[in-house]
Amino acid sequence: MTPTRRRWLLVMLVLTALVAPWGVQRAHAATTVERDIAYSGGSTGTHQTFDVWYTNSSSLRPAVILIHGGGWVGGDKAAMENSPVGVIPQLLGAGYVVINMNYRLAAVPASGPGETPAAYRDQPADTEAVIQWAKAHSASPYFIDANRIALVGGSAGGQIALLTALRDSGVPQNKVKAVVSWAGPTNMVLFGYEQACIRPGATGPCKTVDTTVGSSHVAYPYPEMVRQWAGGCTVLECRNQVYGPNSPVNHVSSQNPATLMIHGVADEIVPFEQSVELYSKQLALGNTLNTRLQPCAVTLDAKLCAEHFTLVNGVMPTTLQFLGNKL
């Protein structure tokens, strides 16, 4: 595990310990977990890993691929596993095979096998590789239905999920039936401009994600995260080459899979309008029955919903209801 992954994992574990409700249901005894299955994404891929969770079955069942957040530069699949609302146990209880994946992290220059200088290209490629693995495992013990696979991602993981699902909706080996984004960016051009250090003529400090763990203070500057994701260039330099083509909002079509976006209306990192734009484009194409935007309202604590989506109990019932209707 890279130092960046360790930092983000420690943050999530501390948050889990502080706010986890008593009695969150864990996976029952009949659950099997196969950990750290190695895979490579694309011809330039280096080995990453995913975990597979499943219960006993003798018939085909749908699968959900989980994509963690972390600003493209950090995070780890353990954040999904250790979610205090029991993301994985709830999905298992609803009858899904759960694939919880790591992917290459953005770093310019890349200094290790778990990093890439072209995250905008390689993170979707990693996701495609996991989709293809799932589609190829319809036999025992997994019994995955290749036609009933969904991607679920949060924050940066939501952007990866949406981009992969929408852009590949016409590619049979990568096509999924549904995608769920928890506060994921959809328009990387606007997202790049919205950061204080990139917007032309902007003044004031850069936006950062600040976290205190014990006596250590860690500040992750969002403009730098976005620049790392884009291979080291800003939106002013690579708008047409990187930011535009890798924005989910630019891949809306009538072939798109069922899409759910849950987003905090008071999100201070990824503006709520990011999800609104994609939703509006899908509605304009007539995808009224296949797309849904669920604002995380004040009653659910909009700011908390946006910044620590796994800590809000209201997110999972909405996600499970949507997946149950679409898969």
For the chain, domain boundaries = 3-326
More confident residue, 47 or 298: 47
The Cα–Cα gap between 86 and 207 comes to 30
The separation between the first and the last C-alpha atoms of the chain, rounded to the nearest angstrom, is 34
pLDDT digits (tens, 9 = 90+) for 236-285: 889 999 999 999 999 999 999 999 999 888 777 888 899 999 999 999 99
Closest CA to 77 of 66, 88, 85: 66
Determine what percent of the chain is predicted with pLDDT higher than 90. 56
More confident residue, 267 or 181: 181
pLDDT band at 48 (very low <50, low <70, confident <90, very high): very high
β-strand partners of 53: 33, 98
For 3-326, CATH number out of 3.60.15.10, 3.30.1300.10, 3.40.50.1820, 3.40.50.10860 equals 3.40.50.1820
CB 97 within 8 Å of CB 142:
yes
Say what the pLDDT of residue 288 is.
83
pTM of the model as a whole: 0.85
